[in-house]
Structure 1
Amino acid sequence: MKDYLRKHPEVRTIRVAAADLNGQARGKRVPARFADKVVKDGTRFPFSVLNLDIWGEDIDDSPLVFEQGDQDGVLKPTERGFMPMPWLEAPTALLPIWMFRENGQPYEGDPRHALRAVIDRYKARGLTPVVAIELEFFLIDDSGKTLQVPPSPRSGKRRKAAETLSIRALDAFDTFFTDLYDACEAMDIPADTTTSETGLGQFEVNLMHCDDALRAADDAWLFKMLVKGLARRHGFAASFMAKPYPEYSGSGLHTHFSVVDESGDNVFDSGGPKGTATLRSAVAGCLNAMHDSALIFAPHQNSYERLVPGKHAPTSICWGYENRTAAIRIPAGNPAARRIEHRVAGGDVNPYLMLAAILGAALDGITQGMEPPSAIVGNAYAEEDLPQIPSTWAEAIEAFEKSTILPRILPPEIIRNLVQTKRQELHYIAELSPEEQVELYLDTV
């Protein structure tokens, strides 16, 4: 890690940052000449900082604050090490960190540790999840009272229409996307294909599959930070909020995953299109936990504007082969690459909690040998007897808190802290107008 700063003497300051429960980067600015101390000893800030609400406020009834004296945790660098922050004007390096207790034990309220614990359970069975993430986001001109698509830097015109798979839309913002790919390369984020989507000024970038789920979550977290920061350098906003425009589809964050054994073989591959019994058990586990996990996949008030029938986001708890109306899709293609696509999460999620919930649920299904219901055929929105994903934030909080499934997947401290956080946000969001809610979520999530 120290070699990075020696090779980049132009870097005068560093940022050390961890992800809180909402996926917000929390940390410090440090002069580069003191970086060696941070690398060696870590840094410190209160446990409660990873449990702030979306405004960055303490949780009123959290035991982490006054009840425990607002004690410090110790934050140590992750294995990722230093990387540039290309969205800032001054040369700056980012050092991702995660939280431990004074005795060296991982802090269970850290979402990155929650994912690590799930991965460890896979490793104990000789299994490794392989993950790829697709992120959708909007480019937005938020300089006026009404949100609108930014004018093209090339033509100066605004294209006020959906541009599904439009090369013209990509070309209109070619300067931004060229800088974005250069930045991804500099940060070692494996950005692959970009497409324009069905929303106004909406795009999707796919991140390449990775056999390290922690790194995949890091990539998604860093990518969101990068896109939002770089867009501001280009004079507009980028947002991963679930639904900035009521009349257009929202932004999802779809996760593709397979599982390989110690020989490197895909345990979902049956040699044919249907997949193995292990695949079906993983699907069953995901479906079994889906209702109770909705708070992770749709963590904000605005999230539930996206989860409406017929708007390219799933609302029914079901699965299918090559069926994008289902919550779980099994893509076609080479049997060796047989995988599950989990389509529920919005772009506004915390990637660490999202992957912990998905992979943890899949492993729960595998270990218990669960069997899913029949795969859906046709339009899932038209099926009236399917179980439903919670349609309101309050319902999702209630389901998450009372779940008997999630304690097998997530640490008790994550469950408690997230419930307290979301109950506080639910209370205060009610005081905001729809316009104020959009202003809140536009830059944060």
Structure 2
Amino acid sequence: MDLSNLKTIRIAACDVNGQMRGKRMPASMAAKLGDGSARMPLSTLNVDIWGRDVEDSPLVFETGDADGILKPSNRGPVPMPWLSSPSALVPMVMETESGAPFMGDPRQVLSQVLDRYKARGWQVMAATEMEFNLVDDSDGTLGHPANPITGRTLDQQSVLSVAELDAFDAFFTDLYDGAEAMGIPAQSAISEAGLAQFEINLDHQNALRAADDAWLFKALVKGLARKHGLAATFMAKPYEDEAGNGMHVHFSVVDDAGNNVFDNGSETGSELLLQAVAGCLAAMPASTLVFAPHGNSYDRLIPGAHAPTTAAWAYENRTAAIRIPGGSPKARRIEHRTAGGDINPYLMLSVVLGAAMVGIEDTMTPPPASTGNIYDIPDLPQLAPSWADAIDLFEQDPLMARILPPMMIRNLVMTKRQELAGFADIPQEKHWLSWLEDV
């Protein structure tokens, strides 16, 4: 992207909650970003949902709140179509003073997980399905938006309705134009089960790029919605009586020759696929905190409510947490369906792909594939039932210690415990204000 005609740019790295933390600066400084002149406290990537320092964080009290060095990732600069004046965003990664990757940076954590695949001569290809709601918060409540054509407030679900998509055509036209300008491979859009709930699929690509694009896409959706007089939210469960928002990820692994290692020419998939499935299942209960990182996330994890609540897998079965889609064996892949729309894409992919690698490393064997309605099958391993339980399980689990670096485990646990305590002091009916656009 040509920055010569811009006055300002933004630089930002991803914090533990998936929020952008960074700076606005003159565009003339862009040429100097690669030399390490951009600095920011390491603790900035470990603040809570309200942007507050985490109490007793070692990043603050043991290091004197030391600076980290921000370096451009290979994913920018990109335009920011939601702003009224032209600008660009340069996505950054955090390094320590010594030049080592900072393991409190979620993008650096995912890079480390992917290095384990690279060491085997493999590359992970991934695609995400992004669900969100358009909402009207103009009167201080979380309300349904008006149909832009009729002016009447939406009052009923309209699954796969082309008419509902067309009613918001101006928004979606800007969204696709913005995604194209940012290099985000947005594919089909559908109207989902909830009121003004939509899903847009992002195409298969290198897994790190897929995480980058999911992160950028969330910012694009939320920013453009405001330009159209609405709000957009990826909250896991905006409305109690309607379907929640998920973020499914499809992934496959290709070798140096371009062969899909999950493909053995059959419908069942290769031994490597089964080992990866087994690893994902083994890590799933303790991964709940990453898949459901906020208090609102647990309103979505209800049996029978279109969200998996148990660690089960199946072929072509959308009630399972892990689904192996049909189709050509060459496209054999794993669909991981547990995460809510409110996740941090880097941490979610780190946990999913790290668990799959542990399954491969340990040559794990999954239980037999489930059939029928998974919600009716007793005695399956359960996801953590509450936010507090998820924090404890995540902190103590030995598989998590093999997947994520100790710093990220510690930082996420401390952040979530602070948020859990903070929400106890906020009236329940006001909780949504903290999550509406910050997840």
TM-score under structure 1 length normalisation: 0.97
For structure 1, which segment, 261-270 or 285-294, has the greater mean C-alpha deviation from structure 2 after superposition? 261-270
Q: Is 1:137 aligned to 2:132, yes or no?
A: yes
1:379 paired residue number: 373
Name the CA distance, whole Å, in 1 between partners of 2:344 and 2:141: 27
Shift of 1:149: 2.1
User: Is 1:112 equivalent to 2:107 in the alignment?
Assistant: yes
Q: What is the CA deviation profile of residues 235-278 of structure 1, one whole-angstrom value per residue up to 9, with x for unaligned ones? A: 00000010010000100000000111111111111212111111
Offset, 1:154:
2.1
Q: Secondary structure at the match of 2:249?
A: strand
Structure 2 counterpart of 1:384, one-letter code: P
**Higher mean Cα deviation, 64-73 or 279-288?**
64-73
Task: Measure, in 2, the Cα distance between the counterparts of 1:385 and 1:291.
Answer: 14
Aligned equivalents of 2:156, 2:37: Cα separation in 1: 49
1:92 aligns with 2:48: no
Q: Give the structure 2 partner of residue 57 of structure 1.
A: 52
Offset at residue 35 of structure 1 (A): 2.2
Partner of 2:20: 25
Is 2:402 the counterpart of 1:408? yes
User: Which residue is 2:414 aligned to?
Assistant: 420
Q: Report the CA distance between 1:106 and its aligned residue.
A: 0.5
Q: Aligned partners of 1:134, 1:270: CA distance in 2, in Å? A: 26
**Pick from 411, 417, 423: which aligns with 1:429?**
423
TM-superposed deviation, 1:145 = 4.0
Q: CA contact under 8 A between 1:42 and 1:77: conserved in structure 2?
A: no
Instruction: Please give the alpha-carbon distance, in whole angstroms, between the structure 2 residues aligned to 1:249 and 1:16.
Output: 35
Partner residue in 1 for 2:386? 392
Q: Does 2:286 match 1:292?
A: yes
Structure 1 residue 153, shift from structure 2 partner: 1.9
Aligned partners of 1:281 and 1:370 also within 8 Å? yes
Residue aligned with 1:386, SS: coil
Q: In structure 1, what is the equivalent of residue 145 of structure 2? A: 150
Report matched runs for 1:46-445 at 5 Å.
46-210=41-205, 212-445=206-439
| Structure 2: runs of 5 or more not aligned | none
Deviation at 1:42, TM superposition (A): 4.1
- The farther-off stretch of 217-226 and 268-277 is 268-277
Q: 2:433 & 2:156 partners in 1: Cα distance?
A: 22
- The letter for the 1-side match of 2:175 is L
SS in 1 for 2:2: helix
Using the TM superposition, give the Cα deviation of residue 144 of structure 1 relative to its aligned residue in structure 2, in angstroms. 1.8
> For residues 145 and 28 of structure 1, do their structure 2 counterparts lie closer, same or farther at Cα, with a shift above 3 Å needed?
closer
User: Cα distance, 1:30 vs. partner?
Assistant: 0.2
Give the length in aligned residue pairs: 439
- Alpha-carbon distance, 1:41 to partner: 3.1
Q: Distance in 1 between matches of 2:322 and 2:161?
A: 26
Amino acid at match of 1:227: V
Q: Is the 8 A contact 1:122 1:129 kept in 2?
A: yes
TM-score, normalisation: structure 2: 0.98
Q: 1 CA distance for matches of 2:27 and 2:180?
A: 23
CA–CA distance in structure 2, aligned partners of residues 399 and 390 of structure 1: 8
CA shift at 1:147, angstroms?
Answer: 2.1
Aligned-residue offset at 1:38: 2.5
Distance in 1, Cα, partners of 2:310 & 2:45 = 32
